[in-house]
């Protein structure tokens, strides 16, 4: 038994060694700390896209690179805890997204940080400029201001009888609070009433729905780690009230949402692997320009429409890049 265990240890279980022990090995293979802001289940497609692209660059998990995954499950306190753990373990690069990025930057000014998604990295003080980020942070930035207006236009064009919508956002995350204000401003331009639904944690979601006015016809969900971790719950509560939902990611529509418009997040996480490849080969993150999405998708879910007794307009279905049936 002991002999078999020893052979297994030296022959193929390097990926299961404690990270601290590996860090002491001479000539150790690079270690990527993957700080998942949401849950392992919610981010499974994103991790898959990231790992696949990394492998295409020759970084094979468990052989030429090690990926240490940690999951914050939408809890802000965990962001700083995980980031501090990665700093103690001296990983070679940290990959994360959204509301976890500022915490990672606060934890270290030397370990390279790649964000797969960030709403306003300049406004948040993460980078100096898109062309030359400076410091130890780089990645992919969303065009969130333009997207809020576009989503509302899609919703209003498809449902001209729409008068009032609710806007749910984690106001503890600066980018979501900003998006909420953008939605409110653009809603007024379209003649829509917008009720703000402020949350900060999972426990706030159901009470927030209970406080919604009966006149609310649709729900706009601002994307962040709390919403991401609870999107099925949010969509389920919206369906009970027969609310139209307009969301920021295809994955949210797959989780019983109605309509989404936004960047392809699988593409963004794959492109984050391009940054990691360059950094592991010696590039400095501050010299790598921050890029923006190149693919935006309109996705509609006919199953959800049927569940709430809604017939989607043919024009909306014709415009969609993907229809879930």
**pLDDT tens sequence across 255-272:** 999 999 999 999 999 999
Can you name the residues that pair with 34 across neighbouring β-strands?
A: 69, 95
Phi-psi region of 239 (alpha: psi -120 to 50; beta: other; left: phi over 0): alpha
Is the pLDDT at 103 greater than 60? The verdict is: yes
The region of weakest confidence among 144-148, 283-287, 297-301 is 144-148
**3-state SS record for 118-142:** ECCCCCCCCCCCCCCCCCCEEEEEC
By percentage, how much of the chain surpasses pLDDT 70?
91
Is the pLDDT at 302 greater than 80? The verdict is: yes
pLDDT range class, residue 16, cuts 50, 70, 90:
very low
144-264+297-324 has CATH 3.40.50.2300 classification? yes
By percentage, how much of the chain surpasses pLDDT 90?
79
Residues 6+ apart with CB under 8 A from 16: none
pLDDT of residue 260: 97
Mean pLDDT computed over 273-287: 98
H runs (alpha helix) in the chain: 2-12, 19-23, 40-56, 76-88, 101-107, 144-158, 174-189, 205-210, 225-229, 231-240, 250-254, 265-280, 302-307, 314-319
Mean pLDDT, the chain, rounded, equals 90
16-142+265-294 has CATH 1.10.1510.10 classification? no
d(CA 202, CA 204): 5
Is the pLDDT at 8 greater than 60? The verdict is: no
Contact between residue 69 and residue 85 where contact means Cβ atoms under 8 Å apart: no
Is the pLDDT at 249 greater than 50? The verdict is: yes
Question: Where does CATH 3.40.50.2300 sit in the chain?
Answer: 16-142+265-294, 144-264+297-324
Report how far apart, in Å, the C-alpha atoms of 139 and of each of 109, 268, 285 are.
Answer: 16, 9, 9
pLDDT of residue 27: 60
Mean pLDDT computed over 230-252: 95
DSSP 30: P
Report how far apart, in Å, the C-alpha atoms of 61 and of each of 17, 50, 219 are.
Answer: 14, 11, 40
């Amino acid at each position: 038994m002991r002999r078999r265990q020893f052979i297994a240890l030296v022959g193929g279980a390097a990926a299961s060694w404690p990270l601290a022990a590996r860090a002491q090995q001479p000539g150790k293979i690079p270690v990527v700390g993957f700080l998942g802001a949401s849950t392992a289940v919610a981010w499974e497609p994103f991790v898959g896209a990231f790992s696949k692209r990394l492998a295409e660059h020759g970084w094979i998990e468990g052989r030429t690179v090690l990926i240490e995954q940690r999951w914050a499950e939408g809890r802000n306190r965990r962001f700083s805890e995980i980031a501090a753990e990665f700093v103690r373990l001296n990983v070679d690069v940290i990959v994360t997204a959204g509301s976890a990025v500022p915490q990672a930057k606060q934890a270290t000014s030397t370990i390279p940080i790649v964000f797969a998604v960030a709403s306003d990295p300049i406004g948040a003080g993460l980078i100096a400029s898109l062309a030359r980020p400076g410091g130890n942070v780089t990645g992919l930035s969303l065009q969130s201001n333009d997207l809020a207006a576009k989503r509302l236009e899609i919703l209003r064009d498809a449902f001209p009888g729409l008068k009032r919508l609710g806007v749910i956002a984690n106001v503890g995350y600066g980018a979501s609070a900003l998006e909420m204000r953008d939605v409110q401003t653009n809603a007024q331009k379209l003649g829509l009433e917008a009720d703000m639904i402020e949350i900060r944690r999972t426990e706030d979601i159901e009470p927030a729905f209970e406080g919604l006015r009966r006149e609310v016809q649709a729900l706009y969900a601002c994307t962040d780690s709390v919403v991401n971790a609870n999107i099925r719950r949010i969509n389920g509560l919206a369906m009970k009230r027969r609310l139209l939902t307009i969301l920021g990611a295809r994955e949210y529509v797959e989780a019983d949402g109605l309509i989404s418009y936004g960047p392809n997040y699988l593409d963004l996480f794959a492109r984050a692997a391009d940054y990691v490849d360059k950094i592991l080969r010696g590039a400095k993150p501050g010299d790598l320009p921050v890029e923006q999405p190149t693919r935006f998708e309109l996705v509609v879910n006919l199953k959800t429409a049927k569940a709430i007794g809604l017939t989607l307009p043919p024009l909306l279905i014709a415009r969609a890049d993907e229809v879930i049936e």
